[in-house]
Chain A
């Protein structure tokens, strides 16, 4: 970052000459921190109404995905105790 945390923030050391590996790691860190989408989004102006719609949509999407993942992990459990045991 320009003057703050120069060469401390958003920096990855290259190990054993693996530049590709280091670049991938850097990219992964940046996407997880949301820097890459922020840059892409700020390339063109996003009107406030579009921004609200997008935030709403992303919230709903996050809820949906987490619920679906929960459902899938629940269903895919095979070893369960028998609920009808003793009947």
Chain B
């Protein structure tokens, strides 16, 4: 069931039209390098050979996110990395919440396992998280969102399946961040369970 991930990303098609859904800018640079070629006027129109070869090299080397300086030349749907909407996934041990916000922080869509009709123990399952992800993605695509960066918080059962649900529902996940709060010995947690 999980193998049927719909890969919305078009395989490295040479993007020769300027208003395609996936306009790949000249991405022949790695993160730290600045080459004048990439900041030249030729941005969206590129020849097939150079696009595929440079696309391959950039895809292989860019596991790190583009730093929010002036160097990045990657665009998703015409937007820079820092302008894309964010999907916050809060995976607690009893439930999973998914909230889609703009890059400014304005909330667009909010779903959770509870809003999908699951109750009590069924909310703390990966399947419930997946349905929540699918419904969140459906609502988001209705608002015209395509590319999204995911921020996960917490170690719960729905941590991975919520992201999978987002992809299955039609959104395109471009980066995964982990924002699990780890206190530097702040508040004292509850006492140890004895089972």
Query: Which of A22-30, A58-66, A68-76 contacts its partner?
Result: A22-30
User: CA A61 – CA B16 in complex, angstroms?
Assistant: 58
A1-43 toward B: CB 8 Å interface, digit per residue (1/0)? Answer: 1100001101111111101101101100010000110111011
Nearest B residue to A12 via CB reads B176
Contact A19 B5 (CB under 8 A): yes
Nearest A residue to B151 via CB reads A7
Closest CB of chain A to B107's CB: distance in Å?
A: 18
Set of chain B residues within 8 Å of A22, measured between Cβ atoms: 173, 175-176
Contact A16 B59 (CB under 8 A): yes
User: CA A1 – CA B179 in complex, angstroms?
Assistant: 5
Contact A45 B9 (CB under 8 A): no
Set of chain A residues within 8 Å of B190, measured between Cβ atoms: 44-45
Nearest B residue to A40 via CB reads B155
Closest CB of chain B to A18's CB: distance in Å?
A: 9
- 9 A-B pairs with least C-beta separation: A17-B9, A17-B7, A10-B178, A11-B177, A44-B192, A11-B65, A13-B175, A45-B189, A15-B59
Closest CB of chain A to B39's CB: distance in Å?
A: 21
B169-195 toward A: CB 8 Å interface, digit per residue (1/0)? Answer: 000111111111111000011111100
